[in-house]
Structure 1
Amino acid sequence: MTAVALAGLGLVSPLGATPDAFWHGLLRGQRAFGEHGCPDGDFRSRVVATVPPGDCAALAGRRKEALATAAVRQALAAAGLPGLPDGSLLVVVSQAPAFGGAPDEGGDFTGPRFEALLAACRADARRTHVVHLSHACASAAFAAAFARDWLLSGLGSTALVAGASALNRYEYASMDVVRTLSPHGARPFDADRDGITVGEGGGAFVLETARTARVRDHRPQAWLSGAACVVDSAESVASAPAAVLDCMRAALDDAGTRRVDYVHAHATGTVQGDAAEAEAIAALAGSLHHVPLPTSSHKGAIGHLLHASAFPGLVAAAGFLREARLPGTPGLRRAAPLPDGVLALAGPGRATTAEHALVNSFGFGGNNASLVLSTAGG
């Protein structure tokens, strides 16, 4: 048995304060873009996607921490857990760790703090295994794979992955300096796409072994049946087609399936990145004799959450498996020329089969991760 239960999901995004708000906003094609309201830094393109202060308590303080802790509480509640059990694993994903009361000169560049997340989990620090993990914009997906391996190795029965992205001048500048920012708002797979939009939000999910889910008589939201992480040292940028294809194939092999019913793409809205991922998806579809593959991205709705970008991807994939509804790509008006085998969804649709979904997440430095969510596994 290689699948682990996705017991609960939490998400606070620019589309709303819950996973359901994000899912239904995605189905409606909403775009939560606007001019920045954050005083920290010079955001020259001014097009960002922020979480309204009313959607998360204490956002006037440590925004990243507030977003992450809110998502943690949601994930635990969805999993039917009053807190994180003793002996569990907590994986914190972020650009850089924060320790104790150290000042955050980046204005939400570091963190969230382990202590705050442990408090939100009602977990005993002495009886919880805590790991900080950072793999650029694929961090949350790498964390899912890491936590799954930890569970399958027999080291514990429950794991929680949490993180957040909050608008700050350092991470914004890191996108600006490589000239990836769109002055108009991200439009993944669109013929007129011209870059990414920086978004913010917090996410969390609870994973547990199949045996633990059965003992608790808890119905998972989905099963994490496969995962693959490929660090391609030959490419310094994200989304090299060969590496992406290898990653998706390895994830499907790990899940023991050759079927994909939907791909939730990393697609950020850059010309090079979207094209490379589409090329890899087309090659995968051809090898599986499953053409075309329905594909969409959430980044035209809430922007790119950077290291936290896999959280909304998992919520979208779980929604697809639950309702057999294909979410569209908000902002997609006129599709760019795409290779045969890729069906870029502008709006929502119905799926004839909803058993397996691929979630892609890529980052600079050759960090590539693919996850397979399935309706069965336990």
Structure 2
Amino acid sequence: MPVKDPVNDIVISGLGLVTPFGAGVAPFWRGLLEGRSALRPAGRFEAPSYRGEPVGEVPGPGPAAGTPRKSAYARAAIGEAVEAAGLPGVPRDALVILVGQAPYPGPETVADAASDPAAHREFLGPDPAGALGPAFAPGRVLHLSHACASAVFAVGFAREALRAGVAPLAVVAGSSVLNRYEYASMDVVRAVGREAARPFDTGRAGISLGEGGGAVVLEPAGHARARGHATDLVVAGAACRVAGAKAAASDAELIAGCMRDALADAGADRLDHVHAHATGTVQGDAAELAAVESIAAETGSDALPVTSHKGAIGHLLHISGAPALAAAALTLRTGTVPPTAGLTAAEGTDRVVLPTAPLRLPSARTAAVNSFGFGGNNATLVLRGV
């Protein structure tokens, strides 16, 4: 069991989001608690493979002309996160990990990109200068890509880097914009549902894609206290696994093994809540539910609350771990588990509760966040309230 060292615990100091509910963590949380869905036919997005399915578009007119939406969403999320962390901006000695499908290569490559440079730009990762500002030291920026588990992998990576003293503070950030490339990649494998996603519902038939941005500020607890910032959430455990020979998102034993490893890393013998990856696919949701059932049995839970945000805002792909972390964090902070939007006929379970309305859980201390992706990328974080 890991040795507890409160001074060197890695804590979440700030969170920031842009989602189809709007800019900010508060609108996202309010939408989840109300059980609302922001999924509807696109008003702005167009693609050859798009046939009118519900999607999660960020509302509003968007950034000024010439500003890539990916960079704008990432910058807005970073701004909220660093403000929540009590910082005037991203410190120059911070480690920044940008997550995305592909790194931003610079304006020359974008300008030369085939027949539609604007569409190509939406596929790329956020431009570091656009997301962080031109004054930030570029040598402190890393890019990490682990498919739809990228954000959770990045938080796990940042946790280890901070423990090793690589930097005094880390920022994990990224964004996702509905674009023709990623939409086609999901459509060609028949993952996209023709109706809004309904995670864990017996009538679920596929995912809905969304867009937005997310950011997480992490630092050692001692560092946060030294600068006068109160913290209440520890990243207590992490397990990031690559099992390329199997479809990890549809393999119950791989999922359970990842959760088991994260709980062991956290030294936790109980689990109060799981914010699931659950995208609304038939196979993926069933495998994850079976895995969580086995973990509930191992930890002695008879009614483990499990929820997903993807029926509310859709699947934000590589940055989907950011709203998942925010939802789990606010569950621990408020003692309330939000419902899963779109869930009306829940799968039958033995030891798991799938809320269709807000569920009070005032004694919750630990929450797991699951995130899985193509290529066998699977990750779990365990958060602990302090």
Which TM-score band (shorter chain)? Answer: over 0.9
Cα displacement (A) at 1:59:
7.8
Counterpart of 1:257 (choices 258, 268, 283) is: 268
SS at match of 1:254: helix
C-alpha distance in 2 between matches for 1:64 and 1:255: 34
Q: Sort the Cα spacing of 1:60 and 1:86 in 2 relative to 1 into closer, same or farther, 3 A.
A: closer
Answer yes or no: is 1:357 the counterpart of 2:367: yes
Q: Give the equivalent residue in structure 1 for 2:51.
A: 44
> Aligned AA for 1:119?
G
C-alpha distance in 1 between matches for 2:66 and 2:166: 38
Structure 1 residue ranges (4+ consecutive) displaced by more than 4 angstroms after TM superposition? none
Alignment gaps of 5+ in structure 2: 111-116
SS at match of 1:188: coil
Q: Give the equivalent residue in structure 1 for 2:257.
A: 246
Cα displacement (A) at 1:45:
4.1
C-alpha distance in 2 between matches for 1:330 and 1:40: 25
C-alpha distance in 2 between matches for 1:264 and 1:224: 14
Aligned sequence identity (%): 49
C-alpha distance in 2 between matches for 1:204 and 1:171: 21
Answer yes or no: is 1:111 the counterpart of 2:121: no
Cα displacement (A) at 1:255:
1.0
Q: Give the equivalent residue in structure 1 for 2:113.
A: none
Q: Give the equivalent residue in structure 2 for 1:97.
A: 103
Is the 2:224–2:231 Cα contact (8 Å) retained in structure 1?
A: yes
Count of residues paired in the alignment: 371
Cα displacement (A) at 1:107:
4.5
Answer yes or no: is 1:172 the counterpart of 2:179: no
Is the 2:106–2:127 Cα contact (8 Å) retained in structure 1?
A: yes
C-alpha distance in 2 between matches for 1:368 and 1:132: 18
Alignment gaps of 5+ in structure 1: none
SS at match of 2:370: strand
Cα displacement (A) at 1:31:
0.3
Q: Give the equivalent residue in structure 2 for 1:203.
A: 214
Q: Give the equivalent residue in structure 2 for 1:53.
A: 60
The 5 A counterparts of 1:185-204 are 185-204=196-215
Deviations 1:217-267 (A, max 9, x none): 211252111111011123035231111111111111111111111100000
Deviations 1:250-307 (A, max 9, x none): 1111111111111000000001000000000000000111122100000000000000
C-alpha distance in 2 between matches for 1:117 and 1:132: 13
> Aligned AA for 2:89?
G
C-alpha distance in 1 between matches for 2:58 and 2:65: 9
Cα displacement (A) at 1:100:
2.1
C-alpha distance in 2 between matches for 1:49 and 1:300: 10
Answer yes or no: is 1:346 the counterpart of 2:356: yes
Deviations 1:186-226 (A, max 9, x none): 00000100000000110001001111111012112521111
C-alpha distance in 2 between matches for 1:23 and 1:298: 10
C-alpha distance in 2 between matches for 1:39 and 1:348: 32
Is the 2:248–2:254 Cα contact (8 Å) retained in structure 1?
A: no
Counterpart of 2:231 (choices 220, 226, 245) is: 220
Q: Give the equivalent residue in structure 1 for 2:114.
A: none
Deviations 1:350-370 (A, max 9, x none): 014111110100001110000
Q: More displaced, 101-110 or 265-274? A: 101-110
Cα displacement (A) at 1:328:
0.7
> Aligned AA for 2:58?
V
Answer yes or no: is 1:323 the counterpart of 2:334: yes
C-alpha distance in 2 between matches for 1:123 and 1:373: 30
Cα displacement (A) at 1:85:
1.9
Is the 1:58–1:66 Cα contact (8 Å) retained in structure 2?
A: no
Cα displacement (A) at 1:23:
0.4
**Structure 2-normalised TM-score?**
0.93
Cα displacement (A) at 1:118:
2.6
Counterpart of 2:137 (choices 124, 137, 143) is: 124
C-alpha distance in 2 between matches for 1:73 and 1:59: 20
Cα displacement (A) at 1:320:
0.6
Counterpart of 2:81 (choices 38, 51, 75) is: 75
Cα displacement (A) at 1:60:
7.5
Q: Give the equivalent residue in structure 2 for 1:152.
A: 163
Cα displacement (A) at 1:123:
2.5
> Aligned AA for 1:72?
I
Deviations 1:20-63 (A, max 9, x none): 11001100001001111235422124311100125x54388411
